[in-house]
Amino acid sequence: MGVKPVVTAAGTTSCSIMATSILRRHVFMDLLLHFVDIILHLDKRLAEWAVQYGPWIYVILFTIVFCETGLVIAPFLPGDSLLFVAGGLAATGNLDIHLLVFLLFCAAVLGDNLNYWIGRYIGPRVFRWEQSRWFNRAAFDKTHAYFEHHGGKTIIIARFLPILRSFAPFVAGVAKMDWQRFLPLDILGGAIWIGSLTYAGYFFANIPFVRSNLSFFILGIIGVSLLPLVFAWFKSRNKPA
């Protein structure tokens, strides 16, 4: 007679944990691949949304920009590439470019100010937060150091830097930067960021060469915007202890 395998409670628990871990990994990879696909084909996605949702596309774009600038838990949302592609979509007649720029400018300023006041309200308690899936402590520390070194101009510069863009107004609030100083810098930075990239997309995204290679241009925009962060990372690694 064969010997039947005995499955203990501990063995069942171990298998269950392993299966859950594998499932989470697959779900995460599926979400990551879906997100990358959206970024690389942002023009097609926005065109589809414009047809599917009509005028509500303005609300969708407003919400994305507002969340990316207003919530420290959402730095992964598309920013620079979204503005460029949205401008290109406006050039096809699906959106009004001036209304689009105005709404996205409002979203950027309102988002930053929400972020600022959240940081101002939370204050020193932030420094006790640890790394988690909702809060990137390392990114916060780098932004805080950059803010301390460069002061108010960080509010403008950070508009063009992914990740820092989501953390800079929050750090300004934590550092209790005077709001009357923060607001005009934020408005100026928002106007330059939204206006330059959205109008650039409006005038250049539908040039045949750009259009046929838009995925590469999107990656290029992301890469160029990340360069200052890469340089800062290398500089920090090479700095003597």
pLDDT per residue over 89-103, tens digit each? 888 888 899 999 999
Structural domain contains residue 174: yes
d(CA 129, CA 135): 8
What percent of the chain is predicted at pLDDT more than 90? 19
Structural domain contains residue 25: no
Q: How many Å is the Cα radius of gyration of the chain?
A: 22
Structural domain contains residue 5: no
Task: Report, in this order, helix, strand and coil percent for the chain, each rounded to 5.
Answer: 80, 0, 20
Instruction: Kindly tell me if the per-residue pLDDT of 125 is higher than 90.
Output: no
- Side-chain half-sphere exposure of 214, counting CA atoms within 13 A: 24
**Under 8 Å CB-to-CB from 19, ≥6 apart: which residues?**
none
Structural domain contains residue 168: yes
Structural domain contains residue 198: yes
Look at residue 40 in the predicted model and tell me its pLDDT: 46
Instruction: Kindly tell me if the per-residue pLDDT of 191 is higher than 70.
Output: yes
- Answer yes or no: pTM beyond 0.75: no
User: What is the domain count for the chain?
Assistant: 1
- 171 and 143 in contact (C-beta within 8 Å)? yes
Structural domain contains residue 37: no
Structural domain contains residue 18: no
Structural domain contains residue 16: no
d(CA 89, CA 30): 27
Distance of CA 129 to the CA centre of its chain: 21
- 213: containing domain: 45-238
